[in-house]
Structures are given as C-alpha cells and as structure tokens.
Chains A and B, each alone.
Chain A
C-alpha cells in the first residue's frame, strides 16, 4: 500500500487502519451477506463468482395443459434458474485447459473490478452456444416440415435446426453455428458446429474455440410440463475433456415472447424476483 493512510511503521496509520477495519467488520456483521462463492473455493474475493438466481417459475393455475405428444415441442418454454457459471455443475467452471483458465480468471477479476469485458451479448450480437440456452428468457419452439425453430426472446436470437440431414462440409462460422437434429425415440438430438469464437461459454467468460461442438438432448418430462436438456460441450482446443450438464425448461403457455430491442437499450430489470439478464 502507498499513500499517507497506508504508510507502514507509523503509529497513527496503524491506529487508523485498525479503526477502519473495525468499522468494516462491524458493518459486515450487521449486513451479513453470505460470502460469495469464489473460483475453486479459493476464498480470493477478486475471483468471486456471480451466484445463480432463481429464474422463471411454473405456469400459473388454469394455464393450457401441455401437449402429450412427445414429438411436439411447440410452444413457449422458460428456463428454471439462471446460472452465471455452469460447467459440469453449478458454480464449477468448464474443464478449461490452464491457459484458458487464466483467461477466465482475468475476466472474473475484471468483472469484480467493475470493468467487465464486453462479450458478444452486451454488444447485441447473438449469445453463442451453449450460453444462449442458459439465457433466462422465454424460448418459443416452432415445428414445420424438416425444421425445428427456436425463437428466443432475448435479443431476437433465432436457431434453425435442420432435421435429418448432415452438417455442410465447411459451414461458415457464425454466432449460433449450424444445427442439425433428429429424433432418437422421444429425445430430440441437436448437433451444432460452425460456431465462431467471439462468444463465451457462460456469463463468467469461459472461452471456446471455433472447434466447439455442442450436443443437446431434449426430452419432455413430467407429462410435458417440463423440457429436459442434457447439454454436452466439446472443444479440443480450450477444454481438457468434454462435459455435460442438465437443465429444465418449464412449459409456459401463458407467456408470449415480447419485442426485445437490444440495439436500443436493455431496459429489463428483475420483476417480482423473476430474474432477467443484467
């Protein structure tokens, strides 16, 4: 430390520091927010993680019942919970190689300094994968011959999933990549490649390369009241090994995706405790 208050070896400075610390500790005891989780539980406050939020609830009573056909995913779905970091588990980073873990640490420290790196979504670019599927906004699924379309409220992201066909040999690199799908019994399997490397895997800033490959397995559960996703993420450049996680989206027939104009300004804020993106 430098400056008059931090000069070592002066009695006055030591007294002042002790006084300030007493105030700080007393203030902490009164407010008593739980200490934030840190990367690898290091306890280093500069590596504090943004905790998960509650996210959307289930449809209110009296809403239209879910469709019983397991191959009919049409309608509006809304993510349960909102994870800022979702590797193999909540608050656990993806298995990044050491050099990419250092980049993640740099980004978390920048965030905690109040100067986060501007990722794609904050510039009104599409969110990328798998992060888009982790966004706490409604998703409307539309099924037409040969296609399943995901219309995301957030920043009017759109995913076109082409059924029963292969990826092109050299797909152009885009924010949301090239997605193809097929049914395995009652599970929709979506395979995505051709992703550019301008997006983060998660809100904390885990890196991926253009060799990112995601495999999503969607299945209606609980009589169609929920849609389960098993997401598998592979990236031989940034990851030590692939990893998977599970997410649940609630059937929300009472919700209509709204006009979302990121390009104007994101004016959304939490409403009644339901989270929306910061």
Chain B
C-alpha cells in the first residue's frame, strides 16, 4: 500500500512552499533564480517517490510467520552462549520446566525487550514516516521508535526497548539499537543478554509486498562468545485492526480467577 495520502500532503506542502519561495514581480533576479532552483530541486526530490523508487512503504499491520519460543541462529543451532550465560540459560529452562516463570518479566506485564518483542505472536503495526519508523505492538500496546538519520548515543540510558536509530540501505531498513537494560530476555525460552547488547535489524519487503523478511544480528560480548544472526518472517494483515490489549487487566483477571487477589 503506497502512502498516497502522505505523499499528496507532502506534495501540497511542497507546492505551497515553492509558491512562497517564488519572488514577487519586480524582485531582483538572483532570488528568482534561487526560487526556480528550489522549485526544481523540490520536484526532483518528489519525483522518485512518485515513480515508486523511494524506500518501500512498510506501513500496515504485520504478523510473525511460525512463531517460536526458542530463538536459534540462522544455522539452526543454539546461540553461542559463554559459560556463565549458559548456566543462567539452563536455570531458566529448568525453572520453566517446573512451572516457575518468575525469571520472565513479561509474566508481570513488563516490556519483553528486543529482539523478543519482534518475535511475539501478537501482530504489530508499522507507521512509517520520513524521520521516524514507529512499531506499535498489540502486546500490551507497546510502542517503539527508530529515528532516521541519527547516531546511537554514546552513553544511553538503559531502557527495556533500548534506543533505536535507522537508515535505509537501498530498500533495506536497517535499525541499530543499544542501551538495553539487563534482565529482559532475547526469546520466550530465556536466552539472556547483558547491558552490552547491540542489536542490528534488517527489514526487507518481499517482492509481493506482502511479506517482510527480518534478520537480527546479536552482538553481546558479555553473554555470547561471538556475534550471531537470527531471522524471522512476517506477513501483512490487511484489514486487521489491532484491539486494545491491556496486560495488567488480563493479569488481574487471571489472579482473581486463581483466587490470589
């Protein structure tokens, strides 16, 4: 789906600006030339988008294909955990096996962190704008922003979802994130990470425009012996409107039913 409304609006704005940039009759020659140049540059800038050769429009609702609770490398193996992280991971697996998921903040409605949020079964919506790509997830209505044309901060505040910057490499949307707080997990099973996690996501629209391929590069020298890659695929959900999902409300109902409230 092309961003026709946005494009029309942009063109209207450009036209309005170009009109204002044109000098009044009798104005000196130089500004008129400048005005014409500005107009030409604006039209040139708008042309590729009109021809459809700009970045693809990812705006819309997406669902993961083949949700898995265990994130594997692209080669299909267990990620290269270092010894300490492997012990922690095995503790998570053992706890989950006896029904204790207290290690997982998601069970208490905390944000899942990344890339796990992108691996959830619930659909999410992308709102693609020129300076920001928004991901709005059905899961507890979590928003995520990736700022285009910016660098990662050197000393970011630790957040559940980190800080994300994005750029287009041709038709691939590349998102770099850091500034993650410890304690979230990379997947449902319990793959750990540290505050040194650096995530690179690459999103590419399939040729049919209905699928989205994602590749995740995980760099975390405190947790993994070397960087590794994982992947996921999403499918468009035309017509699907994300309902209001309130984790705390669902949790309260569950606790009431279990008589723990």
Contact = CB atoms under 8 A, between A and B. Distances in A.
A156 B109 CA distance: 13
B148 interface: no
B142 A145 contact: no
Interface in A72-86: 72, 74
B127 interface: yes
Judged by DSSP, the binding face of B is: mixed
A74 B129 contact: yes
A232 B120 CA distance: 39
B226 interface: no
Contacts of B143: 151, 156, 158, 257
B108 A263 contact: yes
A214 B9 CA distance: 28
Interface stretch (B76-84, B194-202, B216-224, B243-251): B243-251
A50 interface: no
A198 to B, nearest CB: 9
A264 interface: yes
Interface stretch (A118-126, A129-137, A216-224, A235-243): A118-126
B59 A144 contact: yes
A257 B159 CA distance: 13
Interface in A82-127: 123-126
Interface in A253-269: 256-257, 259, 261-264
- Interface size range of chain A in the complex: 20 to 34
B161 A172 contact: no
Best-surrounded residue of B9, B16, B127, B143 (most CB of chain A within 10 A) = B143
Contacts of A259: 111, 159-161
B248 A263 contact: yes
Contacts of A74: 129
Interface string A44-76: 000000000000000000000001110110100
Contacts of B12: 69
A208 B146 CA distance: 38
B141 interface: yes
A176 interface: yes
Given A143-B6, A145-B59, A158 B136 contact: yes
B13 A72 contact: yes
- Interface size range of chain B in the complex: 35 or more
A175 B5 contact: no
B4 A145 contact: yes
A175 B110 contact: no
A261 B159 CA distance: 10
A256 to B, nearest CB: 8
Contacts of B241: 160
A124 B244 CA distance: 13
A146 interface: yes
B133 to A, nearest CB: 10
B168 interface: no
A151 B110 contact: no
Nearest to B134: A142
A158 B144 CA distance: 12
Contacts of B16: 68-69
B252 interface: yes
B48 to A, nearest CB: 19
A174 interface: yes
Interface string A158-173: 1010000000000010
B160 A144 contact: no
A157 interface: yes
A121 to B, nearest CB: 11
B134 A175 contact: no
Given A125-B249, A142-B129, A144-B59, A151 B134 contact: yes
A157 B13 contact: no
B110 A144 contact: no
20 contacts: A67-B13, A71-B9, A72-B13, A74-B129, A124-B248, A126-B246, A143-B9, A144-B5, A144-B129, A145-B3, A145-B4, A145-B59, A151-B134, A160-B242, A256-B145, A257-B143, A259-B159, A261-B110, A263-B109, A264-B110
Interface of A: 67-69, 71-72, 74, 123-126, 142-146, 149, 151, 156-158, 160, 172, 174-176, 256-257, 259, 261-264
Interface of B: 1, 3-6, 9, 12-13, 16, 59, 108-111, 127-129, 132, 134, 136, 140-143, 145, 159-161, 241-244, 246-249, 252
Across the A-B interface, the 5 shortest Cβ-Cβ residue pairs: A145-B5, A124-B248, A263-B109, A174-B244, A259-B159
Given A69-B9, A257-B143, A259-B111, 15 more contacts: A69-B13, A69-B16, A123-B249, A124-B248, A144-B127, A144-B129, A151-B134, A158-B136, A175-B244, A176-B244, A256-B145, A259-B159, A263-B110, A263-B247, A263-B248
